[in-house]
Amino acid sequence: MPMLILVKGKVFDVTGNTAYSPKGSYHVFTGKDASRALALSSLKPEDCRPEWEDLEDKDKKVLDDWMTFFSKRYNVVGQVQGASNL
């Protein structure tokens, strides 16, 4: 089964990276929108949600850096239709 993460409306396939597997340190992100959690450098399940527009500029920069990281490392396999936060 593929392991997927959603960041700023894009779906990334992180299958093969054990950090996102059930026993991995980043499993909290798997199958969820990790945008806010990544921006806040949080591993809390409650931070795995799509709302990030209300964050401070420094946190938005962190999210942009994560978006660049994921874009370079993983394949985009989908996009959330109607996502306004791309």
CATH level 3 topology of 4-76? Flavocytochrome B2; Chain A, domain 1 (3.10.120)
Domain boundaries, the chain: 4-76
Instruction: Output the pLDDT for position 79.
Output: 93
Residue 23 makes CB contacts below 8 A (sequence gap 6+) with none
Distance CA 73, CA 26 (A): 15
Distance CA 77, CA 75 (A): 6
> Is 85's pLDDT higher than 70?
no
Tokens of 65: 């850096």
Distance CA 77, CA 10 (A): 8
Q: What is the pLDDT of residues 44-69, one digit of tens each?
A: 999 999 999 999 999 999 999 999 99
